[in-house]
C-alpha cells in the first residue's frame, strides 16, 4: 500500500513509523498497530506486505538522507525503532565498528530526523537485555540495575540508550 491509497480517516490518524518492519517484532507491530493507526513500515529488505494495510518504505537506517526524507514525508507522531544489527559472528574489530555504526549512530540519526520533522514525536527504542551482562539470568533485572555489557553488540545498544536526549526533546 502507498500513502495515496490509504483510507481518508487514516490520513488524520496518528502516524507510527516502525523501523525493522520485516523483522519478527517489527512485522508484528506493523500488523497490530495498523488496525488503529497509520503505520509506516521501514526496512532495508522489505518482504511482501500481504495485508496491504500499512505503507511499506524501503530504506536503510544507515542512510541519513533516506531517514530524513521518510520522516519529512510522513511526519510521524511516534517512532518505534526495532531495526538494528543483531548478534553476528564477525571478527571483533569489524563487529565493534559495524555494531556501533548501525545500532548506535544510526539510532541517533533516526531520532534527530524524527525530531526535526516533528518536534513533539515520541521515540521508542528497542534495546536488549544484553546491556546488563551475561549473568542476568541469576536475578530479576530492573531498569535501574547497573549495566555490564560484555559484547560489542551490547555496548552498541547501551550507547544508543545513552544518547543525550536534551536536543531531541521527547526522546525516550
What does the pLDDT average to over 73-93? Answer: 82
What does the pLDDT average to over 49-63? Answer: 83
pLDDT of residue 135: 67
Q: Would the pLDDT of 128 be above 70?
A: yes
CATH number at residue 86: 3.40.50.720
pLDDT of residue 95: 73
Domain with 115, as residue range(s), is: 3-168
Q: What is the pLDDT of residues 19-39, one digit of tens each?
A: 999 999 999 999 999 999 999
Q: How many domains does the chain have?
A: 1
122-138 in b/e form (b: 16+ CB < 10 A) is bbebbbbebbbbeeeee
pTM above 0.85, yes or no: no
Q: Would the pLDDT of 65 be above 90?
A: yes
C-beta of residue 18 within 8 angstroms of C-beta of residue 33 = yes
pLDDT of residue 64: 95
State the maximum Cα–Cα separation within the chain, in Å, rounded to a whole number: 51
pLDDT band per the 50, 70, 90 thresholds, residue 134? confident
Q: Burial-class residue 83 by CB neighbours within 10 Å (0-12, 13-18, 19+).
A: buried
The more confidently predicted of residues 77 and 168 is 77
Amino acid at each position: 500500500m502507498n500513502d495515496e491509497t490509504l483510507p481518508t480517516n487514516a490520513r488524520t490518524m496518528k502516524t507510527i513509523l516502525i523501523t525493522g518492519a520485516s523483522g519478527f517484532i517489527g512485522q508484528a507491530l506493523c500488523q497490530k498497530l495498523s488496525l488503529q493507526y497509520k503505520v509506516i513500515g521501514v526496512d532495508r529488505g522489505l518482504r511482501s506486505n500481504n495485508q496491504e494495510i500499512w505503507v511499506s518504505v524501503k530504506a536503510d537506517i544507515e542512510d541519513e538522507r533516506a531517514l530524513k526524507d521518510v520522516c519529512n514525508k510522513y511526519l510521524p507522531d511516534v517512532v518505534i525503532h526495532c531495526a538494528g544489527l543483531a548478534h553476528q559472528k564477525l571478527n571483533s574489530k569489524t563487529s565493534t565498528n559495524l555494531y556501533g555504526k548501525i545500532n548506535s549512530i544510526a539510532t541517533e540519526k533516526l531520532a534527530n530526523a524524527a525530531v526535526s520533522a516533528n518536534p513533539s514525536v515520541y521515540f521508542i527504542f528497542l534495546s536488549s537485555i544484553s546491556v546488563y551482562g551475561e549473568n542476568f539470568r541469576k536475578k530479576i533485572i530492573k531498569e535501574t540495575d547497573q549495566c555490564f555489557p560484555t559484547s560489542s553488540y551490547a555496548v552498541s545498544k547501551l550507547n544508543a540508550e545513552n544518547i543525550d536526549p536534551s536536543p531531541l526533546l521527547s526522546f525516550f
